Amino acid sequence: MKQLILKKSQSSGKSHLVILAIGSIFVLLIVAFFYLDRHNALSALIKSLGLLGVLLAVCLMAILSMTPIPSEGLVLMYLKIYGVVWGTLLAWVGSNLGSLLIYFIVKHYGQFLLQKIISKERFEAVNQWVKRRGTFGLFIARLLPIPAFAVNYIASLIPSVDLWPYLWTQMVSIIPYYAGTALVFLGVAKETWYWLVIGGLAIVAFWSFSYLLNRKKLPN
């Protein structure tokens, strides 16, 4: 029994190291992009790809949103390349596409993915909200301080969660955070402090609300 626990611990440790390494490389690539794109040369090149560039952007966000790697860096890239409105829209569409792919993948390989990716604590946190409050509970669970990809995997495993409630709660719940990120970027890029303050307050409010929800005890 001890050997089994030790093997699981070692496997989990290796997985975390791999994720950390990939995440670090991704961050370096994002930093390199912003450095090389100081004069908007790379942005112009990517935009010159037209529809192909847009499709690649959506697909890349979809793939990244299916992993534990945070997607904020990619969102900032899109804001830089395509502007605040289109950049936010592409990131939003890509994230929702990734969520949709997770739903269908998990329906076929659910238990394996649960054991490899999601902790029991996170599963129970989401499962209890859905069990007690249905679709509204799922929406609230998406606002908890749990990574979006984890909520997507967990929600896909719960038999009572149908496709449409799963999808619309994902589509709506990420809007406040994306909007706040876009406003902060706009404030920095345009050097307008009021957008920076509004965006910062929106993100802080979102995090605070998530924290309070996480502390809330569900009634029996």
71-86 pLDDT per residue, tens: 888 998 999 999 989 9
Q: What is the pLDDT of residues 97-127, one digit of tens each?
A: 999 999 998 887 766 666 666 677 777 777 7
Hey, is 177 helix, strand or coil?
helix
pLDDT of residue 214: 58
Q: CB under 8 Å to 186, separation ≥6 — which residues? A: 84, 192, 195, 196, 199
The number of angstroms, rounded, from the C-alpha of 192 to the middle of its chain's C-alpha atoms is 27
For range 153-178, the mean pLDDT? 88
Direct distance between the N- and C-terminal alpha carbons of the chain, in angstroms, rounded to an integer: 35
Contact call for residues 95 and 174 (beta carbons, < 8 A): yes
The pTM assigned to this predicted structure is 0.78
CA 85 to each of CA 79, 93, 95: distance values in angstroms, whole numbers, following the listed order: 8, 12, 15
**Rounded to an integer, what distance in angstroms lies between the CA atom of residue 55 and that of residue 13?**
35
Q: Which of 62-66, 88-92, 132-136 has the lowest mean pLDDT?
A: 132-136
